[in-house]
Chain A
Amino acid sequence: AQSVSQHNHHVILSEAASLELGCNYSYGGTVNLFWYVQYPGQHLQLLLKYFSGDPLVKGIKGFEAEFIKSKFSFNLRKPSVQWSDTAEYFCAAYGQNFVFGPGTRLSVLP
């Protein structure tokens, strides 16, 4: 069955630190990959998505993600986080179905 896992439940960083959130999916066929963000009290919104082409995808707010097919991974990165990046981040994959990961809570300390 298709699944998505995220490596960390809760990540705590100081401002200006670099961020990498891990995401792995299990599906043998063609897959579309997404990262969503949910700021406190707000709706889920799309950060970035990968369908095909360049495996390094750039999204909003300085985020990027790299699709590594051999590792079934789609890790999210940001070189320098801000306090306003405090949120919950969800990786999602569409192969046969749309499946979300359990989410990673990011807390950025000012």
Chain B
Amino acid sequence: ETGVTQTPRHLVMGMTNKKSLKCEQHLGHNAMYWYKQSAKKPLELMFVYNFKEQTENNSVPSRFSPECPNSSHLFLHLHTLQPEDSALYLCASSQDRNTPYGYTFGSGTRLTVV
């Protein structure tokens, strides 16, 4: 365990479904991130939360909706996804956005959209 826990590990959903990914960290970090990892593509930063405030949204389609109720929890709500959204979704945390002494990553949620 890395200290960053993601659930579920695997998710298969239809294009009309609504589901949520969950990320939890108990490292005392104040910044949390969602990344998308697709085959043969660089890691794509999706969202950044710093002290519970969303500070970055890298042109992510609105069918992805993040939520950060507190510094320890981060959600990614999914709605009407497309097959090309199938990927590994990684959550990460760091001390805060401006002092990146490395990130701690979760194991990811493998999402398949059918």
Interface size class of B (residues with CB under 8 A): 10 to 19
Q: Are A45 and B100 in contact (CB under 8 A)?
A: no
The stretch of A17-25, A75-83, A99-107 in contact with B is A99-107
Does B20 sit at the interface, judged by CB under 8 A?
A: no
The stretch of B60-68, B69-77, B79-87, B105-113 in contact with A is B105-113
**Residue of B43, B101, B102, B104 touching A100 (CB-CB under 8 A):** B43
Does A70 sit at the interface, judged by CB under 8 A?
A: no
Q: Are B42 and A44 in contact (CB under 8 A)?
A: no
Chain A residues within 8 Å of chain B by Cβ, number: 18
A12 to B42, alpha carbons, bound, how many Å? 20
Residues of A44-102 at the interface with B, using a CB-CB cut-off of 8 Å, are 44-46, 49, 51, 90, 94, 98, 100-102
Q: Are A45 and B2 in contact (CB under 8 A)?
A: yes
Residues of A within 8 A of B51 (CB): none
Residues of A within 8 A of B40 (CB): 9
Other 7 A-B pairs with CB < 8 A, given A34-B102, A42-B107, A43-B105: A36-B105, A43-B4, A44-B90, A90-B43, A94-B100, A98-B103, A103-B43
24 contacts between A and B (CB under 8 A): A9-B40, A32-B100, A34-B102, A43-B4, A43-B106, A43-B107, A43-B108, A44-B92, A44-B103, A44-B105, A45-B2, A46-B103, A46-B104, A49-B101, A51-B101, A94-B100, A98-B45, A98-B100, A98-B103, A100-B43, A101-B42, A102-B41, A102-B42, A103-B42
Q: B-contacting residues of A (Cβ < 8 Å)?
A: 9, 32, 34, 36, 42-46, 49, 51, 90, 94, 98, 100-103
